[in-house]
Structure 1
Amino acid sequence: MVLLRPVVVVVVAVVVVVVVVVVIVVVGVIVFVVVVAVVVVAAVVVVAVVVVVAASVVVAVVVSCDGVFAKLLQGPAKQHVAVLLFVFWLLLALLFFVVVLFML
């Protein structure tokens, strides 16, 4: 009986240490995942803002260079310009979809 008590104390101490270590590791992993998610969402938002600003600049340039743009649309490059604009707006819509997806 005298040897049983120190063994019980050691077993309880080991169990407590293991439980504390597991809780610390689990909490650390959860905090890491949350921080990474926040950083990813922030990066996506920054990229979306940059793309919106770039799109605004492109629209402003197109509006200010209306004569040049009209000449491009009248020339043989009309289809290429239309395809480029379509791809640009498609990528912009896809980026906003990704931003909304990450926000959820």
Structure 2
Amino acid sequence: MGSDVDLLEEVVGAVIIIVVVVVAVVVVVVVAVVAEVVVAVVVVVVVVEVVVVVAAVVVVVVVVVVEVVLEAAAAAVVVEEEAVAVIVVVKVEVGFYKVDY
């Protein structure tokens, strides 16, 4: 009878050790997966922030270009309305040749 009790204690001890090791491995794996997910989320957040900043810069550039184009168009209209003539003389010198446009 005594040997059966000893055998049972050894089996229970071995089962407890196996359960503890399995739980420890599961905890380590879960922590690793959660850490990877957190890193992935941080990377996604950083990428989204970069995209938002780039989009903001693009919007600012587009607004500036539109303002410049509108101002140029308004200036052209003013020039046409006032009938101002602008004469431009361009001189191109290439070697011995001199051409006036």
1:21-100 aligned within 5 A = 21-66=35-80, 67-68=83-84, 70-71=85-86, 74-77=87-90
Mapped to 1, the partners of 2:62 and 2:30 lie a distance apart of 48
Per the normalisation by structure 1, the TM-score is 0.61
Q: Which structure carries more strand by proportion?
A: 2
After TM superposition, which residue ranges in structure 1, 4 or more long, deviate above 4 angstroms? none
Quote the offset at 1:14 in angstroms.
0.5
Aligned-residue CA RMSD (Å): 1.7
How many residue pairs get aligned? The number is: 74
Mapped to 1, the partners of 2:65 and 2:34 lie a distance apart of 46
Q: Which residue of 2 aligns with 1:99?
A: none
Larger RCO (CA under 8 A, 6+ residues apart): 1
Q: Which residue of 2 aligns with 1:11?
A: 25
Mapped to 1, the partners of 2:24 and 2:30 lie a distance apart of 10
Structure whose CA Rg is larger: 2
Q: Which residue of 2 aligns with 1:91?
A: none
Per the normalisation by structure 2, the TM-score is 0.62
Quote the offset at 1:31 in angstroms.
2.1
Structure 2: any 5+ residue segments left out of the alignment?
A: 1-13, 91-101
Identity among equivalent pairs (%)? 47
Structure 1: any 5+ residue segments left out of the alignment?
A: 78-104
Mapped to 1, the partners of 2:50 and 2:40 lie a distance apart of 15
